[in-house]
Amino acid sequence: MKREDFVPDKYKHMANMDIPLPIGHGATISQPSFVEQMCNLLQVDSNSKVLDIGTGSGYQAALLAERCKEVVTIERVYELYIEAKERLERLGYSNIKVIYGDGSKGYKKEAPYDGIIVAATTDGITKEWKEQLKEGGRIIYPEYREGHEVLVEGIKKGNDIIKIDHGYVKFVPLIREEENEEYA
């Protein structure tokens, strides 16, 4: 898998740098070391079905698709959704379903998931994410904490999510379509 396949032409010469790069519409292709770390923390295997929130370029979805059985990825910006869908098809990924919509509600139609990855920073785990995660499954996401962002590993145990912090990160914000925010 080559990151340059996921980067706009004018940034291709920077594709191998460990930095986020703009992909238009205020989005960025994440920093490769964070993408790798998030995939590793998810602890999924070739039997897993995962939900990837914030498709962006499709890079994270592609990396997940190489490790999992099935990836469902969701993007709220139509142009990015179309671009990523075409790109992933062209690159031959047959186990990725690209969905256009608001990922803050997860994607119920394909639930439950063995793991969920969120590529945009949020105040917490939405109640839909928790509902759609299997028992013992993990959710990996960046969370706002008083002026900075922390990468969090959440493990579902019954009605609770146990949270483990994994250091500082920087992502674009998760955009929520509705004002009434409800967190698990």
- Closest CB to ligand SAH among residues 36, 134: 36
Q: Which of 91, 81, 44 is nearest to 64 (CA)?
A: 44
List the one residue from 54, 106, 137, 154 that touches ligand SAH (CB under 6 A): 54
Residue-level length of the chain? 184
Binding to ligand SAH in span 98-117, by CB under 6 A: 102-104
The C-alpha atoms of residue 81 and residue 145 are separated, in whole angstroms, by 29
Separate counts of helices (H) and strands (E) for the chain: 4, 11
Q: Which member of 30, 48, 57, 104 is catalytic?
A: 30
Query: Is 57 assigned a catalytic role?
Result: no
Number of residues that bind ligand SAH (CB under 6 A): 24
Q: Give the tokens for residue 94.
A: 């047959």
* Beta carbon of residue 88, minimum distance to ligand SAH (angstroms, whole number): 11
- Residue 38 has what DSSP assignment? H
Q: Does 57 bind ligand SAH (CB under 6 A)?
A: yes
Q: Does 59 bind ligand SAH (CB under 6 A)?
A: yes
* Beta carbon of residue 150, minimum distance to ligand SAH (angstroms, whole number): 17
Q: Does 119 bind ligand SAH (CB under 6 A)?
A: yes
- Closest CB to ligand SAH among residues 119, 158: 119
Q: Is 114 left (phi over 0), alpha (psi -120 to 50) or beta?
A: alpha
Strand-strand pairing, 148-157 and 160-168: antiparallel
Q: Which stretch binds ligand SAH (CB under 6 A): 40-48, 85-93, 147-155, 171-179?
A: 171-179
- DSSP-assigned letters across all residues of 49-117: EEEEE--TTSHHHHHHHTTSSEEEEEESSHHHHHHHHHHHHHTT--SEEEEES-GGG--GGG--EEEEE
- Closest CB to ligand SAH among residues 56, 154: 56
For ligand SAH, the binding residues (CB under 6 A) are 27-30, 53-54, 56-57, 59-60, 74-77, 80, 102-104, 119-120, 172, 174-176
By annotation, the residues acting in catalysis are 30
